[in-house]
Chains A and B, each alone.
Chain A
Amino acid sequence: MTAAPPTNRIGLSLNDYKGAPSTLCDGCGHDAITAQIIKAFYELGTEPHMVAKLSGIGCSSKTPAYFLNRSHGFNSVHGRMPSVATGVSMANHNLTMIGVSGDGDTASIGLGQFCHLVRRNVPMIYIVENNGVYGLTKGQFSATADLGSKAKSGVLNELPPIDLCGLAIELGCSFVGRSFAGDPKQLVALLKAAGSHRGTAVIDVISPCVTFNNHEGSTKSYKYAKEMETPLHELGYVPFFEQISVDYEPGSVQEVEMHDGSKIRLKKTERDYDPTDEINAVVTIKKAHANKEFLTGLLYINETKEDFITIMNVGDAPLATLPESVTRPPKSALDHIMAELM
């Protein structure tokens, strides 16, 4: 007799958060991210049926099929997941939305929609699985590839990269993180914190493409990222339903309280980085580019910004569930309108 698997606070096991087997290449960074998404939702104890998973097109966008089988999924068209997410959010704001996109899907074809999603502050976790290449079409450079980065064929990238984190902050994004598929501990903490955030939470995750961009000369390879990763802080997340108090040396930890009462704990490294300082976040990202640094962690957070649901002033009951008595005005309303037109 085998022991029953451990369960989370709503009585579900890790298996209940899994999806179909992945069809991506062995060792793909995306699969490592998928594993952390499963873990994050399991540990948060989110009800799977209250999650909507969305994606665009590309290798990364296939991954919502590989987690949360009990959640509705929407694999949309290339670069257009943000608009779908905006509509879903309007129809049912009780859903937790997680979107998975890639660097091609977000930084090229979908850049416009990405910008407007962030600008509206649509509440969702928006993950960019960033490998600097188009995997599904066999290795063309994407718009996040670093200047001078080498393709598998030996061609050098001649255009500067779009930094999606820097761009997101510029657009007023209220939660911006960067991580690495090979740093599960940091990634799962960031994902959980993003889940507690009310607004768009952008997480740019360097996720090496083992087939087309994992060679010498690539700045998105496992080797390069492992060697270069510099965490801005040690990231911890304490959900609202857990009361853990750990004693830290005074001044060594910054705590950010989220809307739902959860807390992000940022333990300082040699850097003294305050993620609530927008200007400093921008400067830090710019400097990192100049110094060829790969900084990870919570780059920016603003828990005071209104999300799109609040701005749109919809009621507590999701629009999708409103009965006819609410959505169809009475006959007297039509009679009144007609009389005015006579």
Chain B
Amino acid sequence: MNTLAEGSKEKLEQGRVVNDFSIQIATVNGSGSQSSNSVLMRSIFQMGIPVSGKNLFPSNIAGLPTWFTIRVNKDGYIARKAETEILIAMNPQTAIEDVKGLSSGAVCISPVELRLEAIRTDVLHYQVPFSELAAKASENMKLRKLLTNMLYVGIVAELLNIEHAQIENSIGKQFEGKTKAIDLNLNAVKIGREWAKENLKKQDPYSVEPMNKTQGKIIIDGNAATALGSLFAGVTVVTWYPITPSSSVCEQLIDYLKAHRVDKESGKASFAVIQAEDELAAIGMALGAGWAGARAMTSTSGPGISLMAEFTGYGYFTEIPVVIFDVQRVGPSTGLPTRTSQADLISAHTLSHGDTKHIVLLPGSVAECYEMAGEAFELAEKFQTPVFVLTDLDLGMNNWMSDPFAYPTKPISRGKVMTAEDINKAGTFERYRDVDGDGIPYRTLPGTDHPQAAYFTRGSGHNEKAGYSEKPEDYLYLMDRLERKYQTARNFVPVPAVSIDKDAKIGVIAFGSSDFAVQESRDQLKVANIATSYLRVKALPFTADLRKFVESHDHVYVVEQNRDAQMRDLIRLELPDMAMKIRSVKHYDGLPIDARFVTDAIMEQER
């Protein structure tokens, strides 16, 4: 049941394509395809081949189109790739468009009744009687629908030569402990596999072969990594309001906390997670907790960030530690809630009215989501201020391959907190005095048993003793000290990752999840004889490394996923004398940026 695409014969003759292609699975959301897609991805991963998975889904629970892409790449590139080599077109609603989007010679696996061969004759079609096979897999109509997804796993496994043992492993992992589900799903895979063996003649060049590039690696999504980082940072109060794409940070954190932070003897929790009534309350609770001495966090996305503006300014002005995770999605307004973006950079950095500047951490991998969550808590308490961690939907909700995370090496530090004994030793306590010249004052916690320990926290003007003041000199002292504190932070935030190519005249600057595409693009550019150096910003404020990097290149390209070139503008403000050297590559259609896009954009400007 297959029709041969024009040109595919030649492709076959050119030889096989091993461990280097993308599979796109088009389904309807709510159809249960997620487990099948995970099984497929994990099976390839367990064969030692680098993979990455991306879920492109609608802001909807059931009935709308969804696409899952698995990129298989022997070189370890895990960014999105624009082209699809193998399409599994299971969704009748989008099948025609999906097939039209393929390049010539691509493979399309589809239900036979969709008759997709008529639409594209230059594509290699494998047509499968899914309904018939599903009937064999189960008598239950409802189950048949779910098992259809496992049928395509079997068919792809046969076509690509995925080891059956790995599929068995993955299914076991996916349906842990549920023997009945494991048996049903394994059986469906077998039915698919056997049907393909008997009925499909392999005519495409794609296949997998075992490698040893994933041994010891983990697969995890960025939100789970953020949750783990917070868990091991010793977070005690977590407040949140559900919002895509950040909900799974707190949902996964709740699971981890329940598993690891409940005292076995007393059954009591060493944490509190509060699902707030809205983001206004979520940040208010986190600030209250931070003020009273808890390690407090909240996590949200764009609209939540907007709602948190007033309290974030309060936290900055009154100097209260709190960590705010922003898993960015496409704005403005409701925007595209299930698509990815890096467009909250400036708004988070300067959130709230008046002169405000916040420390922002920018993880560029799941491992950094984990590490920077920990760093964010340390910085928030060291600097007594809200600290943002900006990830995005691509990093947060998609599955990524990574080295296992390292256990924290440094003990938890709570910053400049004075106890009653400290006050006795110092002889005095003034909440907002710059005792050490670094802009960071000392604080006390409520409950400190000392007649001088108490102070009054207020969002209105205040003097060194936390007394109400509208005096110009008090306001200037406070604002200039806050600025000094921010400047101090330059020496403590994570330094950028820099990779210098000594032949390079041009530099590339990126941050966050753009890293995957930029790394791959640099290799593509190198092939085109354009050598590049690379600096990946990991935090605001910038460190001194940025100036050095820009100075040592003819010009630099700032690659980012927003319309307004927000990072470029921040860099121009930081380095006004070199503003003209700073160019821009922007990707902002809601899909994760891909390497080819970056390469083309740079080559275009280099011409």
Say if the beta carbon of A3 comes within 8 Å of chain B: no
Bound-state Cα–Cα, A75 to B291, Å: 12
Bound-state Cα–Cα, A264 to B319, Å: 41
In the complex, per-residue mask of B192-211: 1 if CB is within 8 Å of any chain A CB, else 0: 00000000000000000000
Could you say which of A49, A74, A319, A335 contacts B448, with CB atoms under 8 Å apart?
Answer: A49
Are A77 and B272 in contact, CB atoms less than 8 angstroms apart?
A: no
Are B284 and A327 in contact, CB atoms less than 8 angstroms apart?
A: no
Interface centre among A20, A76, A314, A315 (most CB of B within 10 A): A76
Given the known A-B contacts A84-B287, A87-B290, A315-B270, are A77 and B237 also in contact in the complex, defined by CB atoms under 8 Å? no
Say if the beta carbon of A69 comes within 8 Å of chain B: yes
Are B270 and A322 in contact, CB atoms less than 8 angstroms apart?
A: yes
In the complex, per-residue mask of A74-113: 1 if CB is within 8 Å of any chain B CB, else 0: 1111001011111111111011000000000000000011
By a CB distance below 8 angstroms, the chain A residues around B256 are: 337
Are B294 and A90 in contact, CB atoms less than 8 angstroms apart?
A: yes
Are B457 and A72 in contact, CB atoms less than 8 angstroms apart?
A: yes
Say if the beta carbon of A331 comes within 8 Å of chain B: yes
By a CB distance below 8 angstroms, the chain B residues around A338 are: 218, 404-405
By a CB distance below 8 angstroms, the chain A residues around B231 are: 329
Q: Which residue of chain A lies nearest to B313 when distances are taken between CB atoms in the complex?
A: A77
User: How close is A236's CB to chain B, nearest CB, in angstroms?
Assistant: 31
Are B268 and A313 in contact, CB atoms less than 8 angstroms apart?
A: yes
Could you say which of A74, A113, A333, A342 contacts B277, with CB atoms under 8 Å apart?
Answer: A113
User: How close is A269's CB to chain B, nearest CB, in angstroms?
Assistant: 39
Instruction: Count contacts on A: residues with CB < 8 A to the other chain.
Output: 58
User: How close is B113's CB to chain A, nearest CB, in angstroms?
Assistant: 39
By a CB distance below 8 angstroms, the chain B residues around A160 are: none
Are A70 and B451 in contact, CB atoms less than 8 angstroms apart?
A: yes
Bound-state Cα–Cα, A70 to B450, Å: 8
By a CB distance below 8 angstroms, the chain A residues around B281 are: 80, 82-83, 86, 112-113, 116
Say if the beta carbon of A50 comes within 8 Å of chain B: yes
By a CB distance below 8 angstroms, the chain B residues around A77 are: 284, 310-311, 314, 459
Are B284 and A87 in contact, CB atoms less than 8 angstroms apart?
A: yes
User: How close is B402's CB to chain A, nearest CB, in angstroms?
Assistant: 9
Q: Which residue of chain B lies nearest to A87 when distances are taken between CB atoms in the complex?
A: B288
Are A84 and B288 in contact, CB atoms less than 8 angstroms apart?
A: yes
User: How close is B543's CB to chain A, nearest CB, in angstroms?
Assistant: 28
Say if the beta carbon of B177 comes within 8 Å of chain A: no
Bound-state Cα–Cα, A319 to B284, Å: 17
By a CB distance below 8 angstroms, the chain B residues around A315 are: 263, 266, 268-270
User: How close is B218's CB to chain A, nearest CB, in angstroms?
Assistant: 4
Are B447 and A87 in contact, CB atoms less than 8 angstroms apart?
A: no
By a CB distance below 8 angstroms, the chain A residues around B290 are: 87, 91
Say if the beta carbon of B468 comes within 8 Å of chain A: yes
Bound-state Cα–Cα, A69 to B268, Å: 34
Given the known A-B contacts A80-B280, A328-B408, are A87 and B455 also in contact in the complex, defined by CB atoms under 8 Å? no
Say if the beta carbon of A341 comes within 8 Å of chain B: yes
In the complex, per-residue mask of B267-292: 1 if CB is within 8 Å of any chain A CB, else 0: 11111101011101111111111111
Say if the beta carbon of A312 comes within 8 Å of chain B: yes
By a CB distance below 8 angstroms, the chain A residues around B285 are: 83-84, 86-87, 90
Say if the beta carbon of B32 comes within 8 Å of chain A: no
Interface centre among B281, B282, B450, B457 (most CB of A within 10 A): B281
Bound-state Cα–Cα, A60 to B445, Å: 24
By a CB distance below 8 angstroms, the chain A residues around B235 are: 327
Are B311 and A49 in contact, CB atoms less than 8 angstroms apart?
A: no
By a CB distance below 8 angstroms, the chain B residues around A74 are: 288, 291, 457
By a CB distance below 8 angstroms, the chain A residues around B232 are: 328-329, 334
Bound-state Cα–Cα, A306 to B234, Å: 27
23 A-B pairs with CB atoms under 8 Å apart are: A49-B446, A49-B454, A65-B468, A73-B454, A73-B457, A83-B285, A87-B287, A87-B294, A90-B274, A90-B288, A91-B293, A91-B296, A92-B293, A95-B447, A113-B281, A115-B277, A315-B263, A320-B292, A320-B294, A322-B234, A327-B234, A327-B295, A338-B404
Q: State the B residues within 8 Å of A (CB).
A: 216-220, 228, 231-237, 239, 256, 260-261, 263, 266-272, 274, 276-278, 280-296, 310-311, 314, 404-405, 407-408, 411-412, 444-451, 453-460, 467-468
Q: State the A residues within 8 Å of B (CB).
A: 20, 47-50, 52, 64-65, 69-77, 80, 82-92, 94-95, 112-113, 115-116, 312-316, 318-322, 324, 326-329, 331, 333-335, 337-338, 341-342
The 9 A-B residue pairs whose C-beta atoms are closest, nearest first, are A87-B288, A83-B284, A320-B293, A327-B234, A315-B268, A91-B292, A91-B294, A84-B288, A87-B289
